[in-house]
Amino acid sequence: MSDYETSAAYRVRQVAKRASYDRETVHAILDAGYVAHVAFMDQAGPVSLPLFYVRDGESVLFHGARKSRFMRALGGGGPLCFTVTHMDGLVLARSAFHHSMNYRSVMVHGVAETVADAEKPFALDLFTARARLGRPQETRPANAQELKATAVLRLPLVEVAAKVRTGGPLDDPEDMDLPVWAGVVPMQLTFGEPVRDIAVVPAD
Amino acid sequence: MSDYETSAAYRVRQVAKRASYDRETVHAILDAGYVAHVAFMDQAGPVSLPLFYVRDGESVLFHGARKSRFMRALGGGGPLCFTVTHMDGLVLARSAFHHSMNYRSVMVHGVAETVADAEKPFALDLFTARARLGRPQETRPANAQELKATAVLRLPLVEVAAKVRTGGPLDDPEDMDLPVWAGVVPMQLTFGEPVRDIAVVPAD
């Protein structure tokens, strides 16, 4: 697959050697995540909002209540920044300065399109499948009222940058013999045993 | 402890019953996290940037290269939104519409102050202690050049809101008998076994 042809304004500048524009790398990072932090301007200033998302080919989808503030801010085509970050480890160095983190992140800049009503059921199926971790989709689909209450936005993967840090600490040569524990404490998002809902309809 | 007296503009409006302004709740959510997503305006539009942070009493601290774009954008007092989100579980409902997530999040709006040079060493010690997960601080402290290259920003906890979802799916009564697996798949950030760095200084 070809690299993203990200504009200069949206390329990584800080520690650019950790940047990647490789499509497979970007897809893998997005596909490993559930929540993005979406930045946009509101009347009250900048906002960084956590949102469940799903990748659909060369775009990401996120949704919310049609009347919510963020849908009003973004449904009209306001600029946004969509960021997904996986924390992979705390990097402990021999010097305070070289402490770091291992991570995989993707940042997408752009303007989202509102998914048309006719396509909304298919888009919502993608969210359900993602939330159900591939369990067969046997759920009751959204009815007309629920569909109407929900807005889905689609952000194309065009202005895209990944940034990844891996490996151990990068201490200065003169610090290598200091008697300090140095290394990586791995971090990972893990799933526990599913807990079945035992709620029942209250008797009359 | 008293609640935060958050202004109306920064209070939770969407599903406000999940909001909390309780100081202990907010502190606990912040103290459980490592990375915040900070939103601010850049020349290129809104940005949502993942940043390592630490809480220091009634403020949060984050740092970066003094010459980085975000430090230039925020060091001068630009408005920002600082968000920490913990994913606690995928909530699988009987209907597609009622799928949800369990989470704990804190959003702080405001303007950051640049930590003065004289206080920077103390602030940086907090980052190191946080990264080392309480291991004794035996690292080589930052030297004058490293201190100069690093900027630390302090954001006061004033305009603060927490939002928390817990518990199982909230299906409609008429869906409760559908033959659909419903419940919660717990999610958690876990630490693996520390991996010691075995790098050595190359021989001449």
Does residue A38 lie in a domain region? yes
Position A97 confidence tier, pLDDT thresholds 50, 70, 90: very high
Rounded Cα gap, residues A45 and A22, in angstroms: 33
Q: What is the pLDDT of residues B138-188, one digit of tens each?
A: 899 999 999 999 999 999 999 999 999 999 999 999 999 999 999 999 999
ipTM over 0.90: yes
Identify whether B176 is part of a domain.
no
Give the pLDDT confidence score for residue A204 in this predicted structure: 59
Three-state SS at B63:
strand
Residue in B47, B186, B188 closest to A39 by CB:
B47
Residue B70 has a pLDDT of: 85
Choice among A68-72, A189-193, B93-97 with the minimum mean pLDDT: A68-72
- Please report whether residue A186 resides in a domain: no
Q: What is the mean pLDDT of residues A4-22?
A: 94
Which chain B residues have a beta carbon less than 8 Å from that of A128?
A: 96, 99
Task: List B residues 182-201 in contact with A (Cβ-Cβ < 8 A).
Answer: 182-197, 199-201
Return the pLDDT at A203. 62
Q: What is the pLDDT of residue A184?
A: 97
- Mean pLDDT is lowest, of A79-88, A146-155, B66-75, for B66-75
- Note the pLDDT of residue A76: 85
- Looking at the domain assignment, is residue A145 inside a domain? yes
pLDDT at A1 over 80: no
What pLDDT score does B135 carry?
A: 79
Helix (H) or strand (E) holding A82: strand A79-92
Number of domains in chain B: 1
**A190 closest CB neighbour out of B34, B48, B188:** B188
Residue B183 lies in a domain: no
**Residue B1 located in a structural domain:** no
Task: Tell me whether residue A179 is in a domain.
Answer: no
A176 to chain B: which residues are within 8 Å by CB?
199-201
Q: How far apart are CA A103 and CA A33, in angstroms?
A: 12
- Residue B47 sits in which domain range? 8-166
Q: What is the largest CA-CA distance in chain A?
A: 76
pLDDT at res. B200: 74
- Global confidence as pTM: 0.96
Using DSSP's 3-state secondary structure scheme, residue B2 falls into: coil
What is the CATH classification number for the domain harbouring A96? 2.30.110.10
- Is there a domain that residue B83 lies in? yes
- The 8-class DSSP code of residue B175 comes to G
From the CA of B67, how many Å to the nearest CA of chain A? 9
The pLDDT > 90 percentage for chain A reads 84
| Distance separating alpha carbons of residues A31 and B150, to the nearest angstrom | 34
Residue A27's SS3 state is helix
The C-alpha of B188 sits at a distance from chain A's nearest C-alpha, in angstroms, of 5
- Identify the pLDDT of residue A72: 86
Q: Is pLDDT of A201 > 80?
A: no
For chain B, residues with pLDDT lower than 50 are none
